[in-house]
A and B are shown apart, each in its own frame.
Chain A
Amino acid sequence: MRSKGEAKSMARDKAHSRKEFEGLLYPILPSLYGMALRLTTDENDAQDLVQEATLRAFRWFHTFQPGTNFRAWTFRILVNLFITNYHRKNRRIQAETDLEAPEHYQRIVGNSTWRNARNTEDDVMDRLTDRDIIAALDQLHDEFRTAVVLSDIQGFSYREIAEIMDCPVGTVMSRLYRGRRTMQNLLYEHALERGIIPKKTSTLDDDKKKVTNLEEFRHKRR
């Protein structure tokens, strides 16, 4: 049995660690909520996720090493919780599996409409709204979306993302690559549909030539 004095001092420690925890938590709460919102794409789910993650982080606060990255540590808990509780695989489309397929890349950033004339490129980028970009992001498969958000929006390094997502750095790189490419493809399709990019242009023919040339080039290299 513990003595009364011991119990009191433990209570004090607990209150102290809660204050310390809250001191670290509140400055990062907006970005934690922003992350949760992009993961769940629903405000209520995001609030639940943040609340559960912070409680869990508090329960495990004794395992946190002071001086290390609290933000990454909390994000890791949030992402894990999301994967176990909120993961809805089927709602997302898979990122392109064929990383090497040159046609998508060529179509968007190769010698194509988007890039051929600098003016056109600027134009298309300018005419894509934030909502278009968010919609493309939200359509990504969870793993890719998580990686893109952690990198492009939350500004974590590859190493930190690897820790948060519990995977090797190489996997982070490939998830980012595929996630961003898929977004570009989705936006390109969207731009075509909305007529932001004309459907038939002479540059598309150049495009095909380019792809063929690339294939020939690869063939020669073998």
Chain B
Amino acid sequence: MNCEDAQKFVHVYLDGEFAEEDRDAFEEHLSRCDDCQAMVQFEKRFKAAIKTAVTDPPLPAGLEERIHAALQGESESTEASKWWTWGLRLAPVGLAAGLLLFLAWPTAHHRVQQPSNMPDQATMAAGVIRPVPDSPTAYHPVAYVPSRSTTGSGYAVQQASFDGMMRRPSRPRVSVRVIAPKRVSTDGLMSRWVNGRKVYFGMQGGRNVALFEYNGVGYAVSADVPQEELAEIVRSLLDR
């Protein structure tokens, strides 16, 4: 080993990652090179200085409690999701499809038109409504809720997701999703009464989202339209 190698591998030596024979060779070089010895001393001090400078900060107040509550909510809602998966996987199909057809119906107010590539109801039942696999990549927040909220996970995992997409050249996308209402934390979200029903409004990915429950099924309606207009869409949905 020469000085160049010693400089290159000084961290490996200090981090204790050398194999025994390499370490011996390194130390053998140190024993006859004052410069490298001083360099090792410097690096050792530097490493220690980092460790001393950065100690783990105290846990912020309430973090552990929030995590505990979130985990509790998570394990309960996972239980709940089982019956969602089994009992309600198909139940919302009709409803959601109905909502979609309604949304697709041209109305004077919204001028939402049925696109030519609109799937028929059978196709939707077969393919569009699908359980989201339980993996992190399929972990879609339905509504933006600060994740430090005190209840629930702050996010909803869709057990059945359903995007009714109605596109027109100048028309924003309106999507209706079926969600498990218990999984959505509505803390901090603005709510208002629409047709005698409490509807929560939030943001997700820059789009306004309205959350409401209807016959025990949760719905998230989102569109990139102003909140007022979204409320109108929800109102007309609930009118039916």
Contacts and interface: CB of A to CB of B under 8 A. Distances in A.
B17 A158 contact: yes
A95 interface: no
A125 B45 contact: yes
Contact of A31 (B56, B68, B72): B56
A125 B49 contact: yes
B86 interface: yes
A44 B147 CA distance: 11
Interface stretch (A50-58, A65-73, A86-94, A195-203): A50-58
A137 B57 contact: no
Main secondary structure of the interface of A (DSSP, over half): helix
Interface string A143-180: 00000110111000110000000000000010011001
B15 A151 contact: yes
Given A51-B67, A109-B42, A111-B35, A152 B47 contact: yes
B8 to A, nearest CB: 8
Contacts of B47: 152, 180
A91 B8 CA distance: 28
Main secondary structure of the interface of B (DSSP, over half): helix
B40 to A, nearest CB: 10
Residue among A1, A105, A109, A148 having the largest count of chain B Cβ atoms under 10 Å: A109
Given A55-B74, A133-B50, A176 B82 contact: no
A10 interface: yes
Contacts of A54: 67, 70-71
B57 A37 contact: yes
B54 A153 contact: yes
A173 B136 contact: no
Interface string A128-143: 1011011001000000
Contacts of A29: 59, 63-64, 67
Interface string B61-83: 00110111011101100110011
Interface of B: 7-8, 11-12, 15, 17, 35, 38-39, 42-43, 45-47, 49-60, 63-64, 66-68, 70-72, 74-75, 78-79, 82-83, 86, 134, 136, 139, 146-148, 153-154
